Each structure stands twice: as C-alpha cells, then as structure tokens.
C-alpha cells in the first residue's frame, strides 16, 4: 500500500472476513484466527483492532486512541504503520 498518512486518514478499515479477532484466554491476549493458524497480537495492535468496526475512519480511530491514551507519543504514526502492515498481511480491507 505505502500510501501517505493523509490519504489513509479517510479510509474505513474492516476486518477481512477470513480472520476472526478475539481474546484468547489460553494465550492471555487478543489473536487473529484464520484457517491456517493464529496471530498473537501485542497490546497496541489489539487496541487498534478493537476500534475497527467498518464504520470508523482511520482518523476516527486515531482520535479515539488519543482520547484513551493522551500521553502516547508517536501514536498517529504507529497507527498508520499498523494499518500498512495489516493491509500487507490482508488482515483488513477498506470499505
């Protein structure tokens, strides 16, 4: 993808239907389940994906995360980097 952050801001991500996002007690973390396996997510990735509902833009997601974590430095850049990675891995699609 490698789009500029401004171009990504207005995009609306949704989880690819081939993946299931859920908390896995045995792993004590959120995971993405797919037919070939599972991806364990770190807390930052989990917080971002918790905001993805197919209606919020990336800008909306950033605003919600900034409200929740006002002292997080570099949050905006980290969110854009996450969505680039998630798009490359096909975890998400855009509405």
What pTM was computed for the model? 0.91
Q: How many CB atoms lie within 10 A of CB 48?
A: 22
pLDDT at residue 2 in the model: 53
Q: For residue 1, name the pLDDT band (cuts at 50, 70, 90).
A: very low
61 phi-psi bin (left φ>0, alpha ψ -120 to 50, beta other): alpha
Domains and CATH numbers, the chain: 5-94 (1.10.10.1150)
29 phi-psi bin (left φ>0, alpha ψ -120 to 50, beta other): beta
pLDDT at residue 23 in the model: 98
């Amino acid at each position: 993808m490698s789009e500029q952050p401004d171009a990504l801001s207005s995009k609306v991500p949704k989880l690819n239907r081939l993946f299931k996002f859920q908390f896995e007690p045995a792993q004590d973390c959120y995971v993405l389940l797919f037919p070939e396996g599972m991806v364990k997510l770190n807390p930052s990735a989990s917080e971002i994906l918790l905001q993805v509902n197919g209606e919020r833009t990336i800008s909306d997601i950033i605003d919600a995360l900034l409200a929740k974590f006002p002292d997080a430095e570099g949050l905006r850049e980290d969110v854009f980097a996450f969505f680039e990675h998630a798009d490359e891995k096909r975890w998400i699609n855009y509405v």
